[in-house]
Amino acid sequence: APGGTEVEKLVVRWLGELISYSKTAHGLLTSGGSMANLTALLIASRRKLGKETARTGLWNGGPPITIYTSDEVHMSIPKAADILGFGRDHVRMIRCDDRARMNVHELRERIQADLTNGLKPFCIVASAGTVNTGAVDPLKEIAAVAREFDLWLHVDGAYGAPAALDARKKSLFAGLELADSVSLDPHKWLYVPVDAGCLLFRDEATAKAAF
Ligand SMILES: *Cc1c(COP(=O)(O)O)cnc(C)c1O
C-alpha cells in the first residue's frame, strides 16, 4: 500500500516541523509512546555498540551499558530497558530539583562515576512533559551534557511536546531540536481517536544504520 506509506511520511514530516526539526528529520508511526521509546533506546544502543550486537546480543563480555533519566520519567523507559535486555538496574534515575526537573549537576556526576567504574553510558532520556506534573527537563543543558559525553539524547515528549506550539510556553522547550530522537503521541494532545505514537529522529541515516 504505497498510499499508506506516503501518508505516514507526510504526517511524520508535519510532526517533525511541529517540534522545529529540520526537513531532513524523519521518523515512524508506532502503536504508542511506549513503542516509540523502546525503538529509540534500541537505535541509541546500536549506535554505541555497533551493528555487531544484532548478531552477538548483549552478552559479548562487554561492560553493562547505562541509561540516564530522571526519577519522574514515564515507566515505559525502565520497561523498555527490561525488554531490550539492558536491565532496569542500568537505568539511572537522577533526582529532580524542586520543580520536578532533572538535576543536571547530578546527571553529569553520575555519568562520570559510571565511566570511572568502567560502565558504558550510551543514552540520556529527558522528559518534555512529565506524567505527574507536566515538568519539562532543562533540555538545552542536558543536550550539552549529551554532547560532552557523546551520548544519544532521547526526549520523551509523548504527552507534552505539542505545548511547544504555544508561544507562551515555547521557551520551556528550547533545545528540543537538539535531541537525537523525540517521541510524541498523536493520540494524546493531538486527539487522534485511535492508538498512534510517533518516533522522530534528527538524522535519518543513524536510525537506518541501526537496523
Ligand atoms: C503516555 C506516555 C507514554 C506512553 O505512551 P503510550 O502511548 O501509552 O504507550 C510515555 N511517556 C509519556 C511522558 C507519556 O505521557
Q: List pLDDT tens digits, range 64-75.
A: 999 999 999 999
Q: Is the CB of 159 under 6 A from ligand 1?
A: yes
Probe target for ligand 1 pocket from 30, 37, 127, 159, with the most ligand atoms within 8 Å of CB: 159
Confidence band, pLDDT 50/70/90 cuts, at residue 38: very high
Q: How far is the CA of 68 from the centre of ligand 1 (A)?
A: 18
Residues 6 or more apart whose Cβ sits within 8 Å of residue 2: none
Joined together, the cell numbers standing for residue 142 give: 542536558
Confidence band, pLDDT 50/70/90 cuts, at residue 136: very high
Q: What value does the mean pLDDT take over residues 71-94?
A: 97
User: Do the strands 197-201 and 152-156 form a parallel or antiparallel pair, or are they unpaired?
Assistant: unpaired
- Protein residue with least CA distance to atom 13, ligand 1: 158
Mean pLDDT of the chain: 94
Angle CA(204)–CA(153)–CA(56) in degrees, nearest 5? 70
Q: Is the CB of 76 under 6 A from ligand 1?
A: yes
Joined together, the cell numbers standing for residue 177 give: 531540536
Q: What value does the mean pLDDT take over residues 77-104?
A: 97
Integer Cα distance of 69 and 39 in angstroms: 16
- Contact, 143 vs 107, CB < 8 A? no
- For 151, the enclosing helix (H) or strand (E) is none
Q: Is the CB of 184 under 6 A from ligand 1?
A: no
Probe target for ligand 1 pocket from 76, 189, 198, with the most ligand atoms within 8 Å of CB: 76
Q: What value does the mean pLDDT take over residues 70-96?
A: 97
Joined together, the cell numbers standing for residue 97 give: 530539583
Give 145-160 pLDDT, tens digit per residue: 999 999 999 999 999 9
Give 16-36 pLDDT, tens digit per residue: 998 889 888 899 999 999 999
Q: Which of 140, 147, 65 is nearest to 104 (CA)?
A: 140
Q: What is the pTM of this model?
A: 0.96
Q: How far is the CA of 156 from the centre of ligand 1 (A)?
A: 8
Look at 80-84, 140-144, 191-195 and tell me which has the smallest mean pLDDT.
191-195
Confidence band, pLDDT 50/70/90 cuts, at residue 182: very high
The pLDDT of residue 87:
95
Q: What value does the mean pLDDT take over residues 8-17?
A: 93
The residue assigned the cell 518534555 is 128
The pLDDT of residue 108:
98
